[in-house]
Structures are given as structure tokens and as C-alpha cells.
Amino acid sequence: MNFYIMTLFPEMIEQGARNSVLGRALANGILSLEAVNIRDYTKDKHGKADDYPYGGGAGMLMQAQPVYDCWRAIEEKIKEKCGKKAGEKTRVIYLTPQGKAFHQEMAGELAKEENIIFLCGHYEGIDERALEEIVTDCVSIGDYVLTGGELPALVMVDAIARLVPGVLNNGDSAGEETFFNDLLEYPQYSRPEQWNGKNVPEVLLSGNHKKIREWRLAQSEIKTKRLRPDLYEKYALRKKLTEKLVKRNKALYADMSECLSRGRGELLYAGEDGAVLWDKKADVYMLAAFDEGSAEKIVDQIPSGISGGQFILHEEWLLPPMERRFRVKEKMMCQRAVYNRGVSLPRSKEIAIRQLDVSWLSVVLAHYHLGSEEYVKERLAAGAVFGAFAEGKLAGFMGEHIEGSLGMMEVFAEYRRRGIAAELESYMINLHLSRGYLPYGDVIVGNEASLKLQKKLGLKVSKEMYYWAVV
Ligand code: ADE
């Protein structure tokens, strides 16, 4: 990922980014950061980049011409480096106390960009005409006024960079932390076991990972309730719905309860009569209507302005109101398989399973036909697809779909009947168990081979059917 920072004070940026995690990611090439001096682009013979505001008023304004030319030079550079086509614009973030408030979710979204340009104002601001020409987003880091955009830009770079794969040492550490799932982080302890008369909580020394996870969750809940009642309220609503869904039908609603407990979905509606969740990352809507009479109302909770997308309809009676509101292009009837047992499945030593990277794209595409090239590429890049290797050769693969279900399974014809599918699924189930998930997948109705495999591995398959609908 490449950051470009337009500023009158490049040293401020360079000094701020050279150490610790950012410094390391810059040194090993996972990130690049360039502080570009706006003053280098002024056409003024004295090197001036600011002037008095028309109409009077205090202070100086940064002029339009150097800001605009500086931006053009960066865009040219990006075009050369990344092969951008004409018209494709990089996001340009103007740091201003008048902007939209920066938050963790925005950091996550921006971490997916290949290039970001930050524009730091100084003095009283920037000539509006330059802003109109180049800025795509106005962002504030808080309700206070700083002397310039350099510190806010560094704050944003830091928060975004640590979400870029490979920047933090431990791939998990960006997941389970403050603001994950609307909870604050649990307390942490390091050596020695006793310090200043205080002991490390005993459960953390027990080696029992299930107990440790439960203790941490309970601590997070206590801390959030005390320090951030606003966040806790959101969390409690999600928790209540998760419990309700599990109680009603654990298998059928596993996608919704897992979406909530993995901290992913946005809750659009939760009531006695049903719920609507939007998995923003996957752009999938999940609908549940607990009785036929509320189906219409549940469909009405889908925001107006939505004209297409993927929907999981957990009850058949949701179909008529969906078909009245949208043109349903495709629907697929499925049953849900869940692995309830909580204990890891045994694995054979003969079949090695490894994560596949994007270099396997053409091989995976040649065998998997339920997703577009773009989708498969995204899944590979996310590290969500795993290959089984027999005698050193790829024999099949399985993955985690973008909304969290297990699937994308394919065993190549010449390797079938050797237990490779069971190995792949056992591996994926164990992986999800190690993350504290309830492993689940969709079985397309009529896929007898898959049903047989689910039963063999001890998964529970829902009697109830649900629909994947594309509108
Ligand atoms: N520039 C000055 N103050 C700022 C703030 N609070 N956020 C973003 N940019 C700023």
C-alpha cells in the first residue's frame, strides 16, 4: 500500500513515520510513504505557497495552484507505478476539523486501497477551488483544532497501516482488540506472575484456551459497560439477538449468529418478529422472519435505494415479498451444516494442507465455477483458500466464503475417493474452532456427496431449507 502526503512540512511526516511498526513496514516494503512538499510546485518566484484571503480575515490561505499541481504530479506517478487508467481517481483525503469523524471501520475500509493521498492544510486552510477539484473525502480526527493536517494524517496512516496484511507480526492481533465487535479490549498481563503484591489472574496460567476466551469476553463486557456505555448498548443488542437465533434454530441461523459474534454484521433490524443483518464486507443481507405474517415487514427493513445484491432468506415465506420488491434473478435452495461438537477433528499426516496465494488463481478458477474471477482472487488474496497436497501436488482446495461460511470445495477427479475432501474440511473446521467460531457451511439441496461428507464428519444438517437469492 502506498501513502502520499501533500504537506508544507514534509519533515514532520518523515520523522513521525520512521520508527516502530510503521518504520519496519516501510523498510521491508509492505508500505511506502512519500511526503511531498507542496511548496516545490509553486510558480511564485519567491517560493510562496500562501496568500491573504479575499474579503479579509485573519491569517493566510494555501493557494490553489501549488496544491493542484502537486496533486497532479502524484496522480501521474501513481498512474505510472500502478498502471491506472485515465479517469481512475485515487482517494484524496483532506484533513480538516470540519470533516467526517475518523473511526476504526473507516480505517478498515481505507486499508483496502492500493494508494491514498492525504492533503494537509496549514494556516487558515486551502483555497476552496483546489479542494473542489481534487478532494474525495474530508476527515477529522476529533472535535478539536490542530495547527495543521500533518498530525491527523499520521494518525490515520498509523491506524490504516496496521490493518494491512503483514504489517503486524501476528496476523490475529488486529482482530481481537479494542473496538472489535463493539467491545473494548480485555486486560492483559505479562511477566512476572506477581508484581507489587498483585497476581496475574489464575485462569490465564491454566492453559485452558476455552476458559481463557470466556474470561476475556467477560472482562471486555465489564470494561465496556463501565467505560463506554454507548458501545455496550450496541453490543448488548447484538448479543441478545445472537442468543435468540441460537435458541430458535442453531443450525438454520448459524450464518446470522456467527456474523454477529464474529463482529461483522450491521444490525439493520431486530425485533420479536425477525431480524435483518447486513454483512457489509460481503455485501450480503441476511433476513429472518419468525412468522409468515411479518415477512412483508422484514423485507421492508432492507434500506430503500438497494436495487441489487445477495440475500439469504431463512424462511420460504420471505420469497413472495422479496419477489414483489425486487426482480429475483437467481435462487438456490440450501441446507445448513454446522459442526457443534467443539472438539478438533483428527487429521492424516499424508495430506499436507497449505494456504494458497494469488499465484494459484488460474488453477482454482479452472476447477471452481460458483464464483467470479474477481471473487476467487479476493478470497486467495485474503488468505482464505487452502490446498491439499498429495505427493507434493495440489489435489484439491477448500475455502472460507466472504461472509464466513466454509465452502469452495473441489477435489480434482484423479484424487477422488482418497479421503481428501474429509481432510480439507477437517482442516477448515479445526481452523475455525481455533478462532472460537462455530464452523458452518451451505449444502445445495441435492448435493448428496456433500451431505454424506457432512454426516461422516459429524456435522448437523438442518432439516429446514433456506434460499440464497440474487436480485
Ligand atoms: N486539522 C486541524 N485540526 C484537525 C482535526 N481535528 N482533524 C483533522 N484535521 C485537522
Question: Nearest Cα to 444, choosing from 338, 369, 368, 335?
Answer: 335
pLDDT averages per 10-residue partition of the chain, 471 residues: 97 95 94 98 96 92 97 96 80 97 94 96 92 97 97 98 86 53 91 96 94 95 96 94 96 96 90 95 95 98 93 98 96 97 93 95 96 94 94 96 96 96 97 93 95 96 96 95
User: Is residue 37 helix, strand or coil?
Assistant: strand
Asked if the bond preceding 192 is cis, omega within 30° of 0, the reply is yes
d(CA 89, CA 78): 10
Listed as own residue / partner, the contacts of 35-38 with beta carbons closer than 8 Å and 24 or more positions apart are 35/5, 35/7, 35/10, 35/11, 36/4, 36/5, 36/6, 36/7, 36/10, 36/70, 36/73, 36/74, 37/7, 37/8, 37/10, 37/70, 38/6, 38/7, 38/8, 38/62, 38/66, 38/67, 38/70
- Ligand 1 atom closest to the Cα of residue 96 is 9
Separation CA 50–CA 127 (nearest Å) = 9
Q: Are 30 and 167 in contact (CB under 8 A)?
A: yes
Q: Is the pTM of this model over 0.95?
A: no
Domain 2-161 has CATH 1.10.3720.10: no
Which residues are within 8 A (CB) of 425 and not within 5 positions of it... i.e. 6 or more apart?
398, 406, 409, 453, 457
DSSP 299-340: HHTSPTT----EEEESSGGGHHHHHHHS---EEEEEEEEE--
Give 110 Cα–ligand 1 centroid separation in angstroms.
18
**Ligand 1 first shell, C-beta below 6 A:** 95-97, 140-142, 144-146, 149, 152
Instruction: Name which of 117, 121, 133, 150 is nearest 49 in CA terms.
Output: 121
For ligand 1, the distance from its centroid to the CA atom of residue 152, given in whole angstroms, is 6
For 377, the grid coordinates are 482472487
Distance between CA atoms of residues 181 and 231, nearest Å = 9
User: Is residue 92 within a helix (H) or strand (E), and if so which, with residue range?
Assistant: strand 91-101
Cα(122) to ligand 1 centroid in Å equals 10
Contact (Cβ atoms closer than 8 angstroms) between residue 17 and residue 33: yes
Q: Which ligand 1 atom sits closest to the C-alpha of 143?
A: 6
Measuring from atom 6 of ligand 1, which residue has the nearest CA? 97
Please say whether the beta carbons of 91 and 119 come within 8 A. Answer: no
**Is the separation of the CB atoms in 416 and 390 below 8 Å?**
no
C-alpha 121 to ligand 1 mean position (Å)? 9
Q: Whose CA is nearest to atom 2 of ligand 1?
A: 146
288 CA distance to ligand 1 middle (Å):
43
CA distance 90 to 449: 47
Report the separation in Å between the CA atom of 140 and the middle of ligand 1, taken as the mean of its atom positions. Answer: 5
Number of helices and strands (H, E) in the chain? 15, 20
Task: Provide the grid cell at 100.
Answer: 467526517
Q: Are 428 and 393 in contact (CB under 8 A)?
A: no
Q: State the burial class of residue 304 (Cβ atoms within 10 Å of its Cβ: 0-12, 13-18, 19+).
A: exposed
Q: Tell me the CA distances in angstroms from 181 to 43, 165, 311, one per residue in order.
A: 50, 20, 22
| Tens of pLDDT, residues 148-177 | 999 999 999 999 999 998 898 754 444 445
Atom of ligand 1 nearest to the CA of 139: 8
Tell me the C-alpha distance between 115 and 328, whole Å: 36
Q: Mutation test of ligand 1: which of 100, 141, 154 has the most ligand atoms closer than 8 Å to its C-beta?
A: 141
CA 5 to ligand 1 centroid distance, Å = 15
* 52/62 Cα distance (integer angstroms): 9
**What is the model's pLDDT at position 171?**
44
Return the C-alpha cell found at 105: 471501520
Whole-number Å distance between alpha carbons of 424 and 176: 26
Q: Report how far ligand 1's centroid is from the alpha carbon of 131 (Å).
A: 15
Residues 213-223 have pLDDT tens digits of 999 999 999 99
Which residue's alpha carbon is at the smallest distance from atom 10 of ligand 1?
A: 96
Specify the pLDDT at position 248. 96
For the record, the C-alpha cell of 471 comes out as: 436480485
pLDDT at residue 307 in the model = 87
CATH topology of domain 176-227: Trp Operon Repressor; Chain A (1.10.1270)
Residue in 303, 311, 316 with CA at minimum distance from that of residue 327: 311
The dihedral sign for the CA sequence 331, 336, 337, 343: positive
Q: Whose CA is nearest to atom 5 of ligand 1?
A: 97
Q: Which three cell numbers stand for residue 467?
A: 434460499
Distance CA 121, CA 70 (A): 13
Terminal C-alpha separation, the chain: 34
Q: What is the pLDDT of residues 385-441, one digit of tens each?
A: 999 999 999 999 999 999 999 999 999 999 999 999 999 999 999 999 988 899 999
- Residue 172 has a pLDDT of 41
